[in-house]
Structure 1
Amino acid sequence: MPAPKNLFKSAIRADRFQLGLWVALASPYAAEIVSGSGYDWLLIDGEHAPNDIPLLSAQIQAVSRSGGHPIVRLPVGETWMIKQILDTGAQTLLIPMVESVEQAQALVRAVRYPPHGVRGVGAALGRASQFSRIGDYLETANAEICLIVQIESRAGLAALDEIAALDGIDGLFIGPSDLAADMGHLGQPGHADVTAAIGDAFARIKKAGKAAGIMTLDLDQARLYRDMGATFMAIGTDVTLLVSATERLREDFLSGSKSDVKPVSGY
């Protein structure tokens, strides 16, 4: 039996648009709740959310049960951390702040077993191999790992063509907020200069035959990015949705407005 098929990787390779949501509450229970909402993928955030490897692992399991595809963003692209999260069953990784082809090459090696990489051979102890029940996991795992690098600085944009040309890089994800800050437009990810840079990056990523990804909380901006060629995109976060829904419910009650939040039977 081979390693589980990575349907997200197959989809972006076929240029089928994939819609996603950010998961940053650091709760397997919350992750399971939002994962039932029909998104193609959910990004479990280890960079800006208070997650560690065991907590990320629990959320991978919670999301996987829903049919949504779990993507894990690690805080950094350390080889030891990549090894651990892959052994827990993650198949798609997003690595932040990639700024050079050398950095990207090291990441490709980190997600692959020898002789093509340096991933440690220990998945028999983890969920990735169904605790050694997948007999040919080692021979088939590399093909199902999806590696996405996050480009979020001018240095990253300068190295983009070299990075996109690498075998083993499946997608390049543009980070508008950090890119805007690096370009001198802190807090303005929708600035015209930033949008132009993103459009140029998308065109170069597509030319290299790779998938282009992005995230925004602005639906108008999201539609623009989709028109610009985004292959996969997140349009919200569990944190901001919880904040907006709870505040709106309170405001609707106090103002006498009719809430659009549907009551749950029994409450």
Structure 2
Amino acid sequence: MPVRLELPPTFADRLARAQRPLVGSWVCSGSPVAAEIAAGSGMDWLLIDGEHSPIGLETTASLLRAAAAYPATAVVRVPSVDTVLIKQVLDAGAQNIMVSMVDTPELAEQAAAAMFCPPRGGRGIGSALARSARWNGVPDYLHRAHELVRLTVQIESATAVEHAADIAAVEGVDAVFVGPSDRAASMGLIGQQTHPDLLEAVAHVYREVHPTGTKICVNAFDSTQAQQYVDDGFDYLAVTSDVTLMAQGTRALADQWSTQLREG
């Protein structure tokens, strides 16, 4: 009897069923151990960062395998609308892709096309060779691939904010992720993620995207601000990262012990 494997639900499936906002953590270290700990921590989702972290294709595949046995859903971020890279990350087994710096509806359309096989899109055909279809273990993968992958696009610039509603309405865009860091920088407010002008820009994106029915996420490492975004109605949030937790934890312990030993 042929092997018949099924892939887990996509992140869009989880969001559609969720009764509350979903909370996630970045995985930036490239460590499969960190990814596994985060995946089993109770977090709803993980963001494997291929933009600002030293994470390539082989590492991405390792992190996806490390997280696969746990409840959290993995999303892989790619740094731009690069159709070749998106194809490779999909073939590595990512079902959920986030694309950075999507400033216009045209770029959103290009990203969506890269997710799907012809005739809907331009994704290359290689499932027999790839983890995406578990080396042809997933029945009829090529005809079902559009059901098994999902796309999130990032709105991070003034141009993207201006086009937020049109970007969110592009067919194949399942969710929008608001990036306050780059948006703050583009406004001359670098590092000021709770500045009132930035918060209004984020709120503007929400007001534009929410009526389209597209899910919307925001990055918020400040817990007070994260709670405000929950209260405002965002569908999901990224609230920390593996490297942030390690840096904060080790620095706090170092400060504690250096103080105790000085005073002792």
TM-score by length of 2: 0.93
Structure 2 equivalent of residue 11 of structure 1 = 14
User: Aligned AA for 1:48?
Assistant: H
Asked whether 1:252 is paired with 2:256, we answer yes
Q: CA deviation at 1:128?
A: 1.2
Q: Identify if the C-alpha distance between structure 1 residues 3 and 170 changes in structure 2 by more than 3 Å, giving closer, same or farther.
A: farther
User: What percent of counterpart residues are identical?
Assistant: 36
Per the alignment, residue 46 of structure 2 pairs with 42
Q: Is contact 1:89-1:126 (8 Å) kept?
A: yes
How much does 1:106 deviate?
A: 0.6
The 3-state SS of whatever aligns with 2:237 is strand
Work out the number of aligned pairs and report it. 257
**Residue 226 of structure 2: SS of its match in structure 1?**
helix
Q: 1:160 aligns with which of 150, 164, 167?
A: 164
The Cα shift of 1:8 comes to 2.1
User: In 1, distance between residues paired with 2:131 and 2:171?
Assistant: 26
Single out whichever of 224-233 and 7-16 deviates more from structure 2.
7-16
How far the C-alpha of 1:230 sits from its partner, in A, is 1.1
CA deviations over 1:5-42 (Å, ceiling 9, x no partner): 42421122346421100100011122112222110100
Distance 1:46 1:151, change over 3 A: same
Number of the residue aligned with 1:202: 206
Aligned equivalents of 2:53, 2:166: Cα separation in 1? 30
Shift of 1:134: 1.4
What residue number does 1:106 align with? 110
Correspondence 1:133-212 to 2 at 5 A: 133-212=137-216
Q: In 2 relative to 1, CA 36–72 (structure 1 residues): closer, same or farther, beyond 3 Å?
A: same
- The aligned amino acid for 2:114 is A
The secondary structure found in structure 1 opposite 2:42 is coil
Unpaired segments ≥5 residues, structure 1? 258-267
CA RMSD of aligned residues (A): 1.5
- Rounded to whole Å, the distance in 1 between the matches of 2:232 and 2:18 is 14
User: Which residue identity is paired with 1:89?
Assistant: G
Q: Is residue 220 of structure 2 the alignment partner of residue 216 of structure 1?
A: yes
Deviation at 1:3, TM superposition (A): 5.2
Name the CA distance, whole Å, in 1 between partners of 2:97 and 2:13. 15
Task: Give a deviation string over 1:150-202, Cα, whole Å, max 9, x none.
Answer: 00000001111111111210001000010011112111111101101111211
CA contact (8 A) 1:13 1:210 kept: no
CA distance in 1, matches of 2:112, 2:243: 31
Q: Deviations over 1:51-74 (max 9, x none)?
A: 111111111111112221110001
User: What letter matches 1:252 in structure 2?
Assistant: Q
What TM-score does the superposition give when structure 1 sets the normalisation length? 0.92
Tell me how far 1:225 sits from its aligned partner: 1.0
1:52 aligns with 2:56: yes
- CA distance in 2 between counterparts of 1:6 and 1:168 reads 17
SS in 1 for 2:62: helix
Q: Distance in 2 between matches of 1:3 and 1:113?
A: 19
Residue type matched to 2:7 in 1?
Answer: P
Alpha-carbon spacing, 1:14–1:166, altered in 2? closer, same or farther (3 Å): farther
- 2:181 is paired with a residue whose SS is helix
SS in 1 for 2:29: coil
Kept after mapping to 1: 8 A contact 2:45/2:72 = yes
